[in-house]
Each structure stands twice: as C-alpha cells, then as structure tokens.
Amino acid sequence: MKYVDIHTHILYNSDDGSESIEQSLEILTIAKKHHVNSICFTPHCFINNPPDMQEVIAKTNILKEKINNNINSNINNNINLFYGCEIMIEDTLPSFIKKNEEMCLGEGNYVLIELPMFNYPIYIKEVLYQTRLKGFIPIIAHPERNSHIQLETTKHIKDIIVNGYIQINAGSLTGRHGELAKKTALKLVKRNLVSFVASDSHNDKGYSHMDEAYNIYRELKGKEKTDQVFFYNPYKALKGEYIEQVEINYIKKKQKA
C-alpha cells in the first residue's frame, strides 16, 4: 500500500527540519523507499509570525523541478509534492486563514491546526466552528500528544470531532512520542475517531515508522479502514474532496457508560 503524507517539516530552510535542498531530497528519497507517493510540506505557522508563503511555494516548485529533471537519480516523478501549513491555534485563526487561503493543504480547503502541548485553550470548539463557517475544514494535528487530551480524552476530543477531523502521528502508534501518546493514539483508533495518519517528519528518520504504524493499525481495524486513513482520506484532503465525518454518537455513548 502507498501512503499520502499531509503533515511534514522537511521543506529546506523553512522550518525546524531540513536545512538544505540536498537534505530535503535525501528525505524524499527515503520517503519514496517507504512507499510514500505524495507529500505535503507543512511548515509551522504562528499567526503573529507566519511563514513567507511565496517562499514556501517557490521552494516546493524548485524541488518539483529537480525531481522531474532527475537531478536526484533516486527519486522519479512518481512522488507528488504539495504545500500548506501547520497553524498553531489562536482565537483569531478563522479570520487569519480566510486572508491566507494558500496555507490550506494542497489544492483544497482543509487546514491543519496544531494545539499547544501542555494546555487546552477554552476557545478550541468555537474556533473550529467559526473556521468551518468561513468555508474551511479543520484537521487537528496529533491531539494524542496534548497532555490534557491524554488525561481526559473523551471530554476534549468531542470538541474536535463536532467540527473537524483528527490526524495522529505514525510515531505515536509505534511509541516514538512516549507511552501516554501511544495509549491515547490507540484509544482514538479503537474508537474509530481517526481520519488521518501522517509522519510529522522532521528528518530522515521520520518515515521509518510508517510501515510499523500501518501494521499496528491494520491489526486493530483491518486493511480497508487502514488504507482509508493512510492513503484515501489524505489524498482527498489534498484535492479538497469530501471525507466522511466520524460518528460522534460513539463518544456520547462512552460518556454515559
């Protein structure tokens, strides 16, 4: 099975990941070996200090050109490159993304949103709702790594599911991000609340978890649902296509139990 990766930090000199064109090409080579056929560059974005998207676009196009011209012989043009951003949540995010639509993932209107690691802002549900009202579809990046969600998963995750989707990291399933992140990720998978699995890759080791994570997911949910979150849903997000919403009634039933 091939993978589509909607969350990475491997665009050179744009983030806390790759530091050169050569390093980005090396990481793309490794990604290709791990059966990744589409990648979206998503540099971190803080609303008070956003990245220069024209620069992000230009660098993405340079990498596309190098790949298509076979400058790096280990990659061919069967790997597709897209761009977007991973935006840290703020109460002004809905109006911000409306003015910066190029930060959406790929060719569509899905927006990748990051939560703080150690707190859970009270405005999350309202921000996601207002983002949806403005015509954008929120995807929350790796909520399993948020300390409050780890402690009270059901209570907080409902705020996300009502107006958005969940993306977990492959490394969370394999234990790379610690036992609490793994436990929370597995809980989300078992409850059918995950719509995407991505690498969140920052370096050449980021893709070493993809196959193991795929196998873990398949053991729990079967091949069809696993392919959905590793390939079909991510591809649809990059193309701006409809993705089926997860069933929120399941959460309500768990709360009553």
Closest-CA residue to 116 (of 89, 84, 156): 89
- Please indicate, yes or no, if residue 38 is contained in any of the structural domains: yes
Specify the pLDDT at position 246: 84
Structural domain containing residue 41: 3-190+204-215+235-256
- Please indicate, yes or no, if residue 180 is contained in any of the structural domains: yes
- Please indicate, yes or no, if residue 160 is contained in any of the structural domains: yes
> What is the DSSP secondary structure assignment for residue 175, as one 8-state letter?
T
- Please indicate, yes or no, if residue 25 is contained in any of the structural domains: yes
Number of domains in the chain: 1
Which residue type sits at 52? D
Burial 112-143 (b: 16+ CB within 10 A, else e): bbbbeeeebeeebbebbbbbeeeebbbbbbbb
- Please indicate, yes or no, if residue 221 is contained in any of the structural domains: no
Specify the pLDDT at position 4: 98
Specify the pLDDT at position 257: 35
- Please indicate, yes or no, if residue 96 is contained in any of the structural domains: yes
> What is the DSSP secondary structure assignment for residue 246, as one 8-state letter?
P
Please report the beta strands in 27-164, taking only residues with DSSP state E, as ranges in sequence order: 36-41, 44-45, 80-83, 86-88, 110-114, 137-141
Which residue type sits at 170? A
Q: Regarding beta strands 110-114 and 137-141, do their DSSP bridges make them parallel or antiparallel, or are they unpaired?
A: parallel
Rg (CA), the chain: 17
Distances (CA, A) of 94 to 80, 91, 123: 29, 8, 12
- Please indicate, yes or no, if residue 225 is contained in any of the structural domains: no
Determine if the pTM surpasses 0.75. Answer: yes
- Please indicate, yes or no, if residue 134 is contained in any of the structural domains: yes
Give SS3 for 13: coil
Q: What is the pLDDT of residues 94-115, one digit of tens each?
A: 999 999 999 999 999 999 999 9
Which residues in the chain land under pLDDT 50?
A: 250-257
SS3 per-residue string spanning 90-120? CCCHHHHHHHCHHHCCCCCCEEEEECCCCCC
Q: Give the CATH number for residue 25.
A: 3.20.20.140
